[in-house]
Structure 1
Amino acid sequence: MYSAYAQISENRFLEIYGLNFEEFSVGQVFHHRPGMTVSQQENAEEALDTFNAAMLHYDAHYAAQTEFKKPLMVSTLTLQKIFGMSWKTFARKDRITAFENISMTAPIFGGDTLYCSSQIIAVEETEDKTGHVTVKACCTNQEGVEVANLTYTLSIFKKGKHPVWGDLPNTCSNPWFLAYHQRENGSLQEETGIYFEGFGKGQIFEHSPDITLHSSSMLRHAVQSMQWHPLYRDHEFAREVYGRDRLPASELHVLSLVTAATTTTFGRVVANLGWTDTKLSRHFYADDRFKVQSEVLSKRESRSRPDQGILTVKTVAHDQTGAEALSYTRTLLVYRQGGGPYAAAGY
């Protein structure tokens, strides 16, 4: 069974994603998790950002006069969500080479939740470093109604050829670290995170992929959090007052990114109970790149919640020079095996 980690040493594990070309076979079915709830706000933004003149997507009064009665989701936004939801299984792709068929089979509206599954229908060997895998994807809503299906072909790196994951094995023997669990019909469903029982003191998890700061997301984060200090948006102010030639990132934006980088491993968290000993060593700028890792310092069962446990974890982010840029200790409430909303939610 495929693991979500490569074991680097006895207690060190690297998050990895996707299957090599050789690991796909005709008939495999993958159920992707998590699902995604779409909103009318992002529907309107997608239409306007792409100059979509079909007012059905953003004019609710107009839409009320149609058979749909409310704005219809942009079809290409649905396609983007399908590929976003399925990226983990197909993470070792080089590119999409063709769309053989795209069908929108039922309407989608803001507030709907989408889920995706993929069936492998063809595997073609090539003499290149990649091979071709043809996939039939099915997208359903929260009621189990199919809303879209498509057939497309990917070129996927062969074993040892991926430029990042390369020869790293995805067969770590730890049974808590599986990338999938098998349904009764033999299909594979993606796992999200590790149960409390799977953690042990001294384990170190290298989170993947690395983080790169982008100027556009730095500004957007500052604006949307009402961090309107001119330091984050006015080059002249930053230069004249602070002597900086570049606009810095908000420290909270960097903390958010580093924390989010840990959520693949800590995906079964009930709640984040808080940070302590948070240290930031310098200013942060666009194009800074961070490698993030977390060490489990301690674990204990919850006295008041029998289906949950408490972890204490230290997370460190190193920048592109290898220097420690940010670190913190965090306390997490984590579901134990058999607990949580997973079965009821289709996870």
Structure 2
Amino acid sequence: MSTDTTSATGTPAARPPMRGLYFEEFEVGAEYKHAFTRTITEMDNVMFTSLTMNLAPLHLDEEYAKTTIHGRRVLNSLFTVALIGAFHVPELTMRTTLGNLGYEKIVFPHPVFHGDTLRGETTILDKRESRSRTDSGIVWFEHRGYNQDDVLILSCHRTGLMLKRPAGEPDPA
């Protein structure tokens, strides 16, 4: 890991690894506009669609796609979920998640096409202590994706198992 800080002795000081929020740090109703954006390429769509063995011509066959209501190929919707679902990681769940417990209410109100630039937002819907684990709690997220024209292209609810702050680690607040 590289460092960009210096200790009092003039030697590089080790920085703690980047992390997301611990369970205690999530506030119900908090909204986050994530800094990352990503322009979708043809390669993204073809590679993801091929790797997941989705043979739908709507994603792979330009001539076929011209005959559909969209008039061109549409990005594989599962790629959209994965990408928008990843924008929050550095800010909210890096090194503090124990995993996803479920996705629900996934909605695609507008198609995504090659060349679209996507961004994401997250709202914390709810949280509660785990009933079976003392080291974690459950957080409900709503992730939303928008294209370059601020058109909503994805909304989904996700439930995650989040670590509690380890004993002895100071509260940054």
Give the corresponding residue for 1:122: 126
The one-letter amino acid paired with 1:43 is N
Give the corresponding residue for 1:135: 141
2:93 to 90, 105, 123: 90
Distance verdict in 2 for CA 1:154–1:8, change over 3 Å? farther
Q: How does 1:1-347 map to 2 (within 5 A)?
A: 12=13, 13-88=15-90, 89-91=92-94, 92-127=96-131, 128=133, 129-160=135-166, 167=169, 170=172
CA distance in structure 2 between the partners assigned to 1:49 and 1:27 by the alignment: 37
How far apart are 1:83 and its partner, in Å? 2.0
CA distance in structure 2 between the partners assigned to 1:68 and 1:29 by the alignment: 32
The one-letter amino acid paired with 2:42 is Q
The one-letter amino acid paired with 2:104 is E
The one-letter amino acid paired with 1:90 is T
TM-score normalised to the size of structure 1?
Answer: 0.44
How far apart are 1:16 and its partner, in Å? 1.7
Q: Percent identical across equivalent pairs?
A: 26
Distance verdict in 2 for CA 1:169–1:77, change over 3 Å? same
TM-score normalised to the size of structure 2?
Answer: 0.86
CA distance in structure 2 between the partners assigned to 1:8 and 1:132 by the alignment: 37
How far apart are 1:9 and its partner, in Å? 5.6
Query: Could you report, residue by residue, the CA deviation over 1:37-75 in whole angstroms, capped at 9, with x for unpaired residues?
Result: 111111011111111121110111111111111110000
Q: Give yes or no for contact 1:140–1:146 (8 Å, CA) kept in 2.
A: yes
How far apart are 1:100 and its partner, in Å? 2.4
| Segments ≥4 residues shifted beyond 3 Å | 7-11, 168-171
The one-letter amino acid paired with 1:71 is R
Query: Could you report, residue by residue, the CA deviation over 1:124-182 in whole angstroms, capped at 9, with x for unpaired residues?
Result: 11251110000111100011000010001000000017xxxx836656xxxxxxxxxxx
Q: Give yes or no for contact 1:73–1:109 (8 Å, CA) kept in 2.
A: yes
Please report the RMSD computed on the Cα atoms of aligned residues, expressed in angstroms: 2.2
Distance verdict in 2 for CA 1:169–1:142, change over 3 Å? same
**Structure 2, unpaired ranges of 5+:** none
Which has the higher relative contact order, 1 or 2, with Cα contacts under 8 A spaced 6 or more apart? 2
CA distance in structure 1 between the partners assigned to 2:130 and 2:82 by the alignment: 28
Query: Could you report, residue by residue, the CA deviation over 1:241-299 in whole angstroms, capped at 9, with x for unpaired residues?
Result: xxxxxxxxxxxxxxxxxxxxxxxxxxxxxxxxxxxxxxxxxxxxxxxxxxxxxxxxxxx
The one-letter amino acid paired with 1:50 is T
Structure with bigger gyration radius: 1
SS in 1 for 2:138: strand
Give the corresponding residue for 1:318: none
